[in-house]
Structure 1
Amino acid sequence: MITGLDHYKDKWGVQSDASIQPGLEAMESALAELRNPHHGLPFIYIAGTNGKGSTAAFVSSILMAHGKRVGNFFSPAIEDIHDQIQIDRLPVAAADFDQAMEQLATVKTPLTDFELLTVLAFLIFKDKKPDFIIIEAGMGGRFDSTNVIDPLIAIITSISKEHTVFLGDTIKEIAWHKAGIIKQDKPVVIGPLPELAFEQVDAIAKEKNAPVSKVLEAYKGPLKLKGKHQKINASLAWTATEQVLGRFFEEQKAVSGLAQAAISFRFEEVFPQVIFDGAHNEASIDALVKTVQENYPNQKIHIVMGLIQGKDYLSILKSLENIAARFTFINFEDERAMSAQILFSENISKIKTIQNDYDILPVYEDIEVTIVTGSLYLLSILKQQNYEMFRLYKNR
């Protein structure tokens, strides 16, 4: 579900399918009808199991610190469709969506919702003409609707098991999908990958004559985003922007940009002692656990969570048990949401409850820290439902 898309579809009489249909044929056909608005645009392309959004934020901040105008296509939404397409980290206006939808209304090729959104992004970026455009792959890479672009550089942040129904059950298969974003003769920057994943990515890069930069060392400068994994993401962004900017890259501007980078729902304190973090698979949950242990070593931790169906929830719960004093599982409104009862029913040796509303739970600042995690859709709902409380805290 792409929150807010139906408003524009209804307004302009555009039809699209909510299902997931990997493949590029429909995208290529629709874009051809629109005279290929994506051709010749200055893309930076990011794929990976975890770290795409944070790395995109770091790349954006470095480029903006160099005085560049930057477009971003994020996936999925933080709150709704408007924050998925941004210029200089600000959501584009409703008028820009209307202008692009007016053009899309002429397209005869049937599209899925995400394909429709991707075409919208290309049309908006074609009109806005930013100096650089950072694109996140939605799922996998090779057959993702975004993979019709010819980027200046590709970044693969991490590879672990995810979306196994579509991408396969093995790390090697998943790596094959991620490595599909590598283009002929174009550089690729990669983070620390499992050995089998690296072998697959490296082999495909060699086939494409694509120079590989392997980033293993964590960035040592100041960051707003917390966690050791964010230091690796910052190094990925540094390496990629250094290659893109060439002789115009300035280290001090890069340091300044990285220090200012922020992104919602990445260990974000939205209220005193309430942290929102969009970890939703085993690898990102492990990173979250380590970050909690680093930042709150002697406090009780209350885990509030809800998940989308298809996640390895048993592994996720097992990891979170290492830090949690208690759990609250939330039923939330999304057609793909996992019932909180499923999570509640598992054999967890902690206090656990189910909640069916979105009121922020009581927080005793000196007693426990509440970590709200799991589905980004849940985090978005909670933020919207408690917006005024969060706004007052942020502006205090």
Structure 2
Amino acid sequence: MKTSLSEWLTWMEQCHPAEIELGLERVSRVAESLQLDLSASTVVTIAGTNGKGSTLTFLNRIYREAGYRVGAYTSPHFIDYNERVQINGVNASDQQLCDAFQKIDQARGDIPLTYFEFGTLAALVIFSAEKPDLVLLEVGLGGRLDAVNIIDPDIAVVTTVAIDHVDWLGDDRNKIGYEKAGIFRAGRPAVCGDLDPPPSVAEYAAQIGAQLYQSGTHFSITADENGWNWFAQGEPEPVISQLPLPALPLQNAATALQAVQLIPLPVTPQQIRDGIARAQMTGRMQRLEKNGRIYWLDVAHNPEAAGLLAQRIRALPGCSKLLLGMLADKDCRQVLSLLAPEVESLYLADLQGSRAQTAGQLAGMLPEGCPAQQFSSVTAALQALKIDTNPGDNVIIAGSFFTVSEALQALEKDR
């Protein structure tokens, strides 16, 4: 008998032979038994190679500023599993999650479920009971065959399409775009925030009859150092102007505002401005200051995200050093080539687990003549950085959710 959240999570990790098994047949059968009902909520599903989390965060913050109850499902978590399911920014309690897992286990019979499928169903069980005004669902992997896609969203969003997870999604952008567009629904709005999407996104939308809103065609922005404006197709004046520059990527804010135009929950321009100004995320250019050092935590685990992080590093004043730990199934060589030139020195760390890349393996992928120190853990690298840096220096921590998670826990202990 499982009585605690940790017991449930340990059991869930062991109850399916595969970490990932894409497909909707098994999870749909269990969902049907659970009699999930999200009819009281407007549902927005968000897919994309990068930008899912920040687009969701903008929407979450805007609608909470407007006084709506917002449920959000994201993954993975950084420290506590409860982070994955939130109502109005508050993590689900251990009891809520345990009760949901118990219901799922009873409903599934002998149907095997992955860890992610259990978690997705638990979020849906909680949202079905809580009935928030808005439910925001972040796709875990791909879109078409991801467990989140058992729900028919009122609005579907694809943020960006880039090469990642090639073993599961294919090895070119057109294949990946098709998988991500699989969250679109016939006769319902679909938003694409990629400025240069592969043809498969629009082709899929046309094939099923989804109403596609494409960045650069149906909506656009202008921006300068003082702020930015959001335009709808064919309108000479901005729909909303004098928006504050966000801490998270601007293009994802623009994509979120297209979704705002389609969500049937009224918000004012000032609530939008406040939401954008206050939108912050764990592990996305997250700023922490300790002992005079400035730590910037950003997952940046693929080339597209690393390119954006490189631009951010370039704009930072003072000295910057990089702590990097990565998984072996990522394009580590390209990430290193983008980030290494932007920092004064590199600190490479081993990660734990079957998918982990060692610091030595990462060092072997560095551009010629680029030295790096190697460490057995993220925590050990942080200890060295504490000695090797001066007040005012920037420490960039990137490469994986696991890297950022371990760093957050180590920095929390180092008070």
- Per-residue deviation at 1:253? 1.1
Q: Return the letter of the residue paired with 1:353.
A: Q
**For 1:57-83, what per-residue CA distance to the aligned partner results, in whole angstroms no more than 9, with x for missing partners?**
000011111111000001221223110
Q: Aligned equivalents of 1:307 and 1:131: distance in 2?
A: 38
CA contact (8 A) 1:14 1:105 kept: no
Q: Deviations over 1:284-311 (max 9, x none)?
A: 0000001111233xx3321101111211
Cα RMSD of the aligned pairs, angstroms, is 2.2
Partner of 2:231: none
Aligned pair partner of 1:137 in 136, 139, 150: 139
Residue in 1 that maps onto 2:371? 351
Give how far 1:143 is off: 0.7
Specify the code of the residue in structure 2 equivalent to 1:75.
S
Change (3 A) 1:214 1:13: closer
Displacement of 1:39: 6.3
Task: Give the TM-score, by structure 2 length.
Answer: 0.86
Q: CA separation in 1, counterparts of 2:160 and 2:12?
A: 38
CA distance in 1, matches of 2:148, 2:29: 14
Moved over 4 A (4+): 9-14, 37-41
1:66 lines up with 2:66 in the alignment: yes
How much has 1:322 moved relative to structure 2? 2.2
Q: Cα 1:238–1:40, aligned 2, differ >3 Å: closer, same or farther?
A: same
Q: Does 1:375 align with 2:396?
A: no
Q: Aligned equivalents of 1:42 and 1:176: distance in 2? A: 24
* Distance across 2 between alignment mates of 1:243 and 1:290: 32
The yes-or-no answer on 1:232 pairing with 2:257 is no
Q: Give the letter for the 1:160 counterpart.
A: A
Whether contact under 8 Å (1:159, 1:193) holds in the other structure is no
Instruction: Give SS of 1:245's match.
Output: coil
Write out aligned runs for 1:271-310 (5 A): 271=289, 272-296=293-317, 299-310=318-329
Q: Using the alignment, how far apart are the partners of 2:117 and 2:5 within structure 1?
A: 12
Conserved? CA contact 1:190–1:236, under 8 Å: yes
The answer as to whether partners of 2:27 and 2:117 remain within 8 angstroms in 1 is yes
Cα deviation digits, residues 344-393 of structure 1 (max 9, x gap): 1234322301112414221634574211001111211121122143xx6x
> Equivalent residue for 2:238?
none
Give the partner amino acid of 2:363.
F
- Output the CA distance in 1 between the equivalents of 2:157 and 2:259: 7
Name the SS of the counterpart of 2:357 in structure 1: coil
Q: Tell me the secondary structure at the aligned position of residue 149 of structure 2.
A: coil
- Among 283, 293, 298, the alignment partner of 1:265 is 283
Distance 1:309 1:12 in 2: 24
Secondary structure at the aligned position of 2:263 is classed as helix
Deviation digits for residues 288-342 of structure 1, max 9, x if unmatched? Answer: 001111233xx33211011112111111111112202211111122332111110
For 1:165-184, what aligned pairs fall within 5 Å after superposition? 165-184=167-186
Q: Tell me, what secondary structure is at the counterpart of 2:310?
A: helix
Percent identity over the alignment is 27
Using the alignment, how far apart are the partners of 1:270 and 1:13 within structure 2?
32
CA distance in 2, matches of 1:62, 1:269: 21
* Distance in 2 between residues matched to 1:117 and 1:332, nearest whole Å: 24
Per the alignment, in what secondary structure is the counterpart of residue 117 of structure 2?
helix
The residue number in structure 2 matching 1:54 is: 54
Q: Deviations over 1:249-272 (max 9, x none)?
A: 311111111111111111111223
Residue in 2 aligned with 1:203? 203
Q: Is the 8 Å Cα contact of residues 188 and 211 (structure 2) preserved in structure 1?
A: yes
Q: Could you list the per-position Cα deviations for residues 159-184 of structure 1 after superposition, in whole angstroms to 9, with x for gaps in the alignment?
A: 11000111111110000001101011
More deviation in 330-339 or 138-147? 330-339
1:95 equivalent to 2:87? Answer: no
Once residues 168 and 14 of structure 2 are traced to their aligned partners in structure 1, the CA distance between those partners, rounded to angstroms, is 27
Give the counterpart letter for 1:234 in structure 2.
A
Which shows bigger deviation, 183-192 or 280-289?
A: 183-192
Gaps of 5+ in 2: 229-242
Shift of 1:40: 6.4
Q: Secondary structure at the match of 1:295?
A: coil
Unaligned runs of 5+ in 1: none
Change (3 A) 1:102 1:353: same
Letter in 2 for 1:237: A
- Partner SS for 2:372: strand
Instruction: Quote the Cα distance in structure 2 between the aligned partners of 1:13 and 1:353.
Output: 34
Deviating more after overlay: 308-317 vs 215-224: 215-224
